[in-house]
Structures are given as structure tokens and as C-alpha cells.
Copies of this chain bind each other. A is one copy, B any other.
Amino acid sequence: MSPTIPPLAAKLDGLRSSAIRDLLKLTGRTEIISLAGGLPDAELMPRARLAEAAEAALSGNGCLQYTESPGWGPLREVLVRRESQRLGRAVELDEVFVTHGSQQALSLLAEVLLDPGALVIVEDPAYVGALQVFRAAGARIVGVPLDAEGMRLDVLTELLARGERPALVHTVSNFHNPGGVTMSSRRRREIAELADAHGFWVIEDDPYGELWFDSPAPAPVAAYSRNVIRLSSASKILSPSLRVGWMVAPDRVCRAVEMLKQGADLCGSALTQQIATDLLSDESWLAGHTDTVRTTYGDRAKSLVNAVRTRFGDRVSCSDAAGGMFVWAEFTDGTDTKQLLPRALDAGVAFVPGSAFAVDTDYGHAMRMCFTTSDAATLDEAIARLARAAT
């Protein structure tokens, strides 16, 4: 008798794989210059300093054991100091929780903050990893468009006036992925006031805040309200292989997240958390290292934007290269970027079409380009190829 094959859960039918991850698999061909990725440059990761920290963690009294679910104690203490500076108030230890990258913070928070059918407001275009998590949690998702000052709060205010009651609003406040923009100080204060007045959570997702090119990002949204949960990460400034992210959130949120983290994976890695502690607490080294990353990415970003402006002129409008890892560009002549992509791949360049990030709009003429892993000459060649594909 042949065995009866059991089914998978019916609820899986509604989930989709990440379009970007699937695309990345296709753009690994070496002859293609990929602007489609979203990876920090591995060449800039502090290999020697990481090795030194790993050696220290693995010799003598370093911890090789399971660690506490909220994170390795000394790491949380370093983060308390760091986040207190950032937020301009004394952050408590119980408000700091270490996660397996900030993606895990998003997924645990979705469980902690959302009942099925809850309304979640996201930026449009949106960070795909957040969308995926909120969809899996069974949320109703509404997108609010971005402009040059970040999330359009006039649109959010109108939604609230119509009686919409979001459980949470998600924002990538600094150097948006994919939109490139940074929320203005005025709007940061305003969205915090809305959160306080209407009693909703804001998740301020900030993996890129340290990667400013000309001037630091404004004070975080979380500086203006305790209803704001701030996420950050070591992935973009040190190495994603540490899988160290963290959140600053009210104690009761952290305790609920702790309960779910025990079920999700018990705890993080004491090894990588010790390494992160070492590097994040070495403040003068870290300042110099971060500065190098900023300068390198800043030069690349400006090369990319210059190349786009030179080759395309008015045909493409492009976000400023103020920080982060991405430039968002829109064709003004009706060019469809999904149709352009196969021609671009033939010409030897990859990007992500805007539609991959679209929530309630289309962004059919837009694209996201990542500048982190290519030098100026390569970026120029990439845009030359794109221009040939787009003729």
C-alpha cells in the first residue's frame, strides 16, 4: 500500500515568497552588474576586528552556552548607552531586546501587536520584509504614499478622520528602502503626536540611520513618544552574519516578545552577541569604521545619481543620495520597468522594478537601485547598459 501523504496547512496558500529574493537568484550571473541586491559591501565589513572579538569570546571566560531570550546582558547594556544617546533620555535595560536581525523584531512584534484583521499602515512603496510579515499575521494593510519628506501625514490624518483605527504604523524613517527619502523632523513630531492621540503603535524601522553621507539623520520618531518602537541593527554597519538586531520598546512589549522568542528559537547566539558587544562598545574604533563606510557609500551613491542624471536627463527623476543603500528612480516618459527588466538583463544590468514594493499604487515606472557593492566605474557602466536597454 502506498503511503498517504499528509497536507500542509491551508493558510499557506495566501503567502508569497519574497519577489526580491526570487529575483536575486536569477541575477547571480557574473556578466550582469546587479543593482538589484540589497546587501551591504562585504569588503567593508571589519574582518580583522571581528576575528579579534571572536578570539576573545572563544578564549577564557567567553560564554558558549544558551543565553537569555532578551539577549546577552553586556550587549543590552551597550545598547542602553547607545540608545539613550540617540533618544535623548535614559533608556532602561528592560526596554532593550536583542533580536536575530531586525527582521525577527518585525515578525515577533507582528505576533505581539496584531490580532487577525488588524489594520496596519505601511509606507507605499514599502519594505517588502515588513509587508510579508504583516500579511502572514492576517493584517489588513493600507499604504500611505511617500514624498520628499517621508510618509504623507496628510493622507494618514485623512484615514484617521474617516474613522480608520490602525493597530500600528510602520515607517523606515531614515534613507527609506526602497524610496530613498528621510522623514522630516516636523513629520516625526507630528506622527508621534498622532500615535499618542489615537493610541496606535509606530514601528520605526531604522537599519540605515548610521549610513548618512553629508549630515546625520534627525532625532528618531521614538524621541517624541513612548508609543514608538524603535528597531535597529548591526547588519549594515558591522556584518549581517552576526544576526544582531535590537528593539527599544516599553517593558510590557519586551516581555511579550520574550515569551514569543522562547517559542520561536529560545535565544540568540551568545557568540555573535559577544562579538557585537565588543565592536559596538569600542566607540572610537566604531566611529572611524562607520565613517569609512559612510564615505565609501556616499561616493558610490553620488556616482550612481550622477550617472543616471547624465545618461537620462529629464527622462528619469531620482531620489537624492543622502544616505542608506538605495536610490529610487522613476521614468517620466511612461517606460514600464517590469517590461524593461528582461531587456536590461540582456544588456547586462539588473534592478528591482518598482512594482515589487507597491502596496496600493503601481510604481510601474519606478525602480530601486542599490549602490553599495559597486565602485564608481562599475555603476557608470551599469547605467550606460541601462540606457542602451531603455532606448
Contact = CB atoms under 8 A, between A and B. Distances in A.
Interface of A: 1, 3-6, 8-12, 15-18, 21, 39-40, 42, 45, 47, 50-51, 54-55, 58-59, 62-67, 69, 99-101, 103-104, 107, 111-115, 118, 129, 132-133, 136, 167-168, 195-201, 225-227, 235, 239-243, 252-253, 256, 258-260, 262-272
B112 A8 contact: yes
B15 A259 contact: yes
Contacts of A62: 47
Contacts of A263: 103, 107, 129, 132-133, 136
Contacts of A6: 113, 167-168, 195, 199-201, 227
A50 to B, nearest CB: 5
B58 A3 contact: no
22 contacts: A3-B196, A4-B196, A6-B113, A6-B167, A6-B200, A11-B115, A12-B256, A17-B259, A21-B69, A40-B65, A55-B55, A65-B241, A66-B235, A66-B241, A67-B241, A103-B265, A104-B264, A129-B263, A129-B266, A132-B263, A240-B270, A264-B264
A309 to B, nearest CB: 30
A207 to B, nearest CB: 11
A42 B69 contact: no
B65 A58 contact: no
A63 B129 CA distance: 23
Please indicate which of the listed interface residues A112, A115, A266 has the most CB atoms of chain B within 10 Å of its own CB.
A266
A194 to B, nearest CB: 11
Given A55-B54, A262-B17, A63 B241 contact: yes
A138 B124 CA distance: 33
B132 A271 contact: no
Contact of A199 (B5, B59, B226): B5
A136 B265 CA distance: 14
Contacts of A195: 3, 6
A69 B243 CA distance: 13
B39 A64 contact: no
Given A12-B112, A256-B8, A58 B54 contact: yes
Please indicate which of the listed interface residues A103, A133, A201 has the most CB atoms of chain B within 10 Å of its own CB.
A103
A265 B198 contact: no
A342 B266 CA distance: 26
B47 A51 contact: no
B269 A9 contact: no
A9 B63 contact: no
Nearest to A130: B263
